[in-house]
Each structure stands twice: as C-alpha cells, then as structure tokens.
Amino acid sequence: MSQVKENDTVKVHYTGKLKNGQVFDSSLEREPLEFTLGQGMLIPGFEKAVIDMKVNDKKTVDIPVTEAYGEVRQELFHKVENAQLPEEVKPEVGLGLVSKDAQGNEHPFKIVEVNDDHIIVDGNHPLAGQELVFDLELVEIK
C-alpha cells in the first residue's frame, strides 16, 4: 500500500483542537480537505503529520506553535483613531475588521481594546500563539 510523500495530492478528514480540547474546525460534516503537499497552503506541522500515512490511517498529532500559526507578533497590533473608522462601525472588543492596502489586498484585524478616541486592533492569525492538536484520517492519495 502506498504512503504519502512530498508533492502528493491527498484527501484528509481532520478535527483541529486547542490543547484544552476545544474544537476550532473539523471536516467531518463536509468533504475532506484536498491539498497538494509542498505548496505551503497549510501549516507546516499539518503537512509533516500527513507524510508516510497510508489510506485509512488515523492518528492524533500535537503541533507546536512554531509549526502552526507562529507566535503572537506585537508588530501586528495597531492603534487606530476612531476618526479613521467608517461611521457605521461601532467598535467593540472582538469585532472583526478588514483593511485594504494600496494593492487591494485585504488584511483581517480583530478589535482587542476600545478607548474613547482610539481602538487597538490585532492582525495576528486567531490561532497564533496556540499549540494545536489534530485528529487526522487519510482518505485518499491521488
């Protein structure tokens, strides 16, 4: 039976959890995730975990912060004056915002602090700084 190797296209069912067991994503109620290894589309720890699996193999892997979404980066926190916000935005902690750069690329932010004249937004990935646990099942090697 063949095993997954670099550059293979595979289908994987997964459940992603935080270390405390809280599930943040799962493919079990939908189609399995299809991806090609080595293209950088997924976090490095997820790709490494799939290498050498065979069809129908199941395993649980712990993925350290460095192989997941990385550490929380302080340079991705920004102060935004309330005057810069669109009128319809009523700032509250946890609210997601999107900013566009000069090239039209969108960058998501989350409000983490609200003050009288400004807000603080966080541009880190929501799972930055977290060690993750994935339950994996290899469904297909294409």
**Cβ–Cβ under 8 Å, residues 113 and 120:** yes
- Structurally, the chain folds into a number of domains equal to 2
95 in a structural domain: yes
- CATH assignment at residue 86: 2.40.10.330
13 in a structural domain: yes
Alpha-carbon dihedral 123, 18, 141, 3, rounded to 10 degrees: 120
- Per residue in 99-131, pLDDT tens? 888 898 998 999 999 999 999 999 999 999 999
User: Residues 32-45: what's their mean pLDDT?
Assistant: 95
- Indicate whether 50 and 91 sit together in one domain: no
pLDDT at position 1, please? 66
- Within a 10 A sphere around the Cβ of 2, how many other Cβ atoms? 8
Residue 111: which domain range?
Answer: 74-122
Residue type, 12: V
